[in-house]
Amino acid sequence: MEIIARISKPKNWSLLLLDYASKELYFEIAVGEGAEKLKGVRLKLSEGIAGWVARTGQSMVVEDAYKEPRFAHWIDEKTGFKAGSVVCVPLIYKGKVLGVIELIAERGKKITSWELEVLEAMADFAAVAIENARIVGKIKRYNIIDDITGLYNSRYLHPLLEMEISRAQRHNLPFSLIFVDLDYFKLVNDR
């Protein structure tokens, strides 16, 4: 994303990811004027340029955001930033929209078709990286959670135990550990 920002030099840029459960976009990364006010902000797929791009899977270039009927004016009101031209591209992995990247130039600066091409190419790489990160996260979770019981297993316990013992020693605190075991629980698991 930093490469995109260096090439295009937008005033603001953001990465919005799709929450599949709520069918909303949320700001995963926002950089620029008023960006800190976007933390926790969500957009419906029927809202804004980003929502339209995520819904259709098509890129969009807007020369003047305020002349575009799909533009979500309330975001500018929230951040205090006045958007100029906007380019928004979908992040698509294996035909599935993961989110969008949106670059916003200040008023008077236009985003070129060359910048759009570069952004679309970078979006392909970003989509693969995002999906890979999600897969690695799932693998890590599956590695520490027992698939039958849904409880944490010894691969979670040992590093956590080491960390807690170390913390207790560092702060000169007592440390206790209780193990509870159910008789014949293995028989239940084996069924």
Q: What is the CATH number of the domain that holds 36?
A: 3.30.450.40
Residue 134 lies in a domain: yes
Q: How far is C-alpha 181 from the geometric centre of its chain's CA atoms? A: 39
Q: In Å, how far are 18, 40, 92, 136 from 127, measured between CA atoms?
A: 12, 21, 6, 14
> In whole angstroms, what is the distance from residue 169 CA to residue 153 CA?
24
pLDDT tens digits, one per residue of 103-118: 888 766 777 777 788 8
Number of structural domains (the chain) is 1
> In whole angstroms, what is the distance from residue 30 CA to residue 15 CA?
6
Residue 153 lies in a domain: no
pLDDT tens digits, one per residue of 32-77: 888 888 888 899 999 999 999 999 999 998 888 888 889 988 887 8
What pLDDT, on the 0 to 100 scale, is given for residue 21? Answer: 93
> In whole angstroms, what is the distance from residue 18 CA to residue 27 CA?
9
pLDDT tier at 131 (50, 70, 90 boundaries)?
very high
Residue 60 lies in a domain: yes
Range of the domain at 14: 2-141
Q: In Å, how far are 111, 143, 147, 156 from 151, measured between CA atoms?
A: 51, 11, 8, 10
Residue 116 lies in a domain: yes
Q: Is the model's pLDDT at 4 over the cut of 70? A: no
Higher pLDDT, 14 or 91: 91
Higher pLDDT, 24 or 7: 24
Residue 191 lies in a domain: no
Residue 10 lies in a domain: yes
Residue 180 lies in a domain: no
Question: What is the sign, positive or negative, of the torsion defined by CA atoms of 25, 26, 32, 33?
Answer: positive
